[in-house]
Amino acid sequence: MQVKPKKSLGQHFLTDTNIIRKIVDAVEPVPGGKVMEIGPGTGALTRLLMERYADLEVIEIDSRAVDYLRDVYPDLTIHEQDVLKTDWQGLATSPISVVGNLPYYITSPILFSVLDRRELFSSAVFMMQKEVAERLVAKPRTKDYGILSVQTQLWSKPEYLFSVSRHVFTPKPNVESAVVRLTFDHSTEPQENTRLDTQVDAGKIKMVVRTAFNQRRKTLSNALKSILVERFPDAETRADFAAAQGLSRRAEELTPLEFVDLTRAIYDLRVE
Ligand code: SAM
């Protein structure tokens, strides 16, 4: 049975056995953990994954690919659904090691959904557009450094593993690709355990980071003006706060942990 690639579903099937092996080798489930694949398509990665992890589970939206996989791998657990509507909590009977050659049109939402539920995951090995991969690991004061970099580096340890040529896919995508591994080491998540108190803080950090980078050319006092005015209605207090926090800098100059400190400072100082 043939599955004709659908552009609308980001279907670019891997054809290179060496790359397939390198991706599967990068998956390192924790003892007792489970492996889940996003977007198995016609099973390029699935075959080798199943050889190593017999209880592999996959999430695929395309019913044609699902029919194909059911035919070829009758024992495979297939969740026929949109990965963005997946109830990760319900699937996480043990820490999930997630892997996938992602559908590129939804790379960022997939990344954010995993980061948001990071307590359920031990690692993620994802193939994505090279430029997105570069953003995940970008350092402050570089053009690639932004919202994705800060959130990914705060809540995981991202590693750029290797680049992948567009010639190893059918059909060829227009962009180059790369494989990244995010490791979630919950025991040493200092920013969560000691610097942040609750999930509410994580929401606030996200808001501050997004607001700061939405106007990345402005100084932080200007870019964050709406938040600062709400927290410090008095102009003089606001100016003092901005000076003390070094808000004449721009968003791209702050490290991820400095964003955490800034968020705490903004909200801790709030006069109720
Ligand atoms: N793993 C295969 C490979 O490497 O050859 C296919 C990878 S292809 C780049 C992306 C896969 O994700 C396709 O099988 C596509 O149908 C699936 N997909 C696209 N959107 C999806 C969604 N919202 N939820 C789940 N799977 C999706």
Cβ(142)–Cβ(116) below 8 Å: no
Q: What is the mean pLDDT of the chain?
A: 93
CA distance 38 to 103: 9
Query: In the chain, where do the E strands start and end?
Result: 13-14, 34-38, 57-60, 77-80, 96-101, 121-129, 157-164, 169-170, 177-183
**Has residue 269 got a pLDDT over 80?**
no
Quick one: tokens of 31?
């003892």
**pLDDT at residue 271 above 60?**
no
Q: Measuring from atom 6 of ligand 1, which residue has the nearest CA?
A: 41
Ligand 1 contacts CB of residue 37 (under 6 A) = no
Q: How confident is the model at residue 188 (pLDDT cuts 50, 70, 90)?
A: low
The whole-number average pLDDT for the span 117-131 is 97
Q: What integer is the mean pLDDT of 156-167?
A: 98
Domains of the chain: 7-186 (3.40.50.150), 194-266 (1.10.8.100)
Residue-wise pLDDT for 9-62, tens only, equals 999 999 999 999 999 999 999 999 999 999 999 999 999 999 999 999 999 999
Lowest mean pLDDT segment, chosen from 15-19, 82-86, 91-95, 202-206: 202-206
The more confidently predicted of residues 253 and 193 is 253
Predicted local confidence at residue 230, as pLDDT: 95
Q: How many C-beta atoms lie closer than 10 Å to residue 174's C-beta? A: 9
Q: Are 37 and 45 in contact (CB under 8 A)?
A: yes
Confidence of residue 82 (pLDDT cuts 50, 70, 90): very high
Percentage of residues in the chain having pLDDT higher than 70: 93
Q: 62 alpha carbon to ligand 1 midpoint, in Å?
A: 8
Q: How far is the CA of 103 from the centre of ligand 1 (A)?
A: 5
Task: Give me the phi and psi of 246, to 5 degrees please.
Answer: 65, 45
- The Å distance, Cα 128 to ligand 1 centre, comes to 12
Task: Dump pLDDT digits (tens) for 140-152.
Answer: 999 999 999 999 9
How many other CB atoms sit within 10 Å of the CB of residue 190?
A: 10
| 38 in Cβ contact with 59 (< 8 Å) | yes
Site to probe by mutation for ligand 1, drawn from 46, 72, 84, 101 as the one with most ligand atoms within 8 Å of Cβ, is: 101
Per-residue pLDDT tens over the stretch 213-241: 999 999 999 999 999 999 999 999 999 99
What spacing in Å lies between the alpha carbon of 37 and ligand 1's midpoint?
A: 10
Residue-level pLDDT at 247: 98
Provide the pLDDT for residue 201. 82
Which residue has the least CA distance to atom 21 on ligand 1?
A: 61
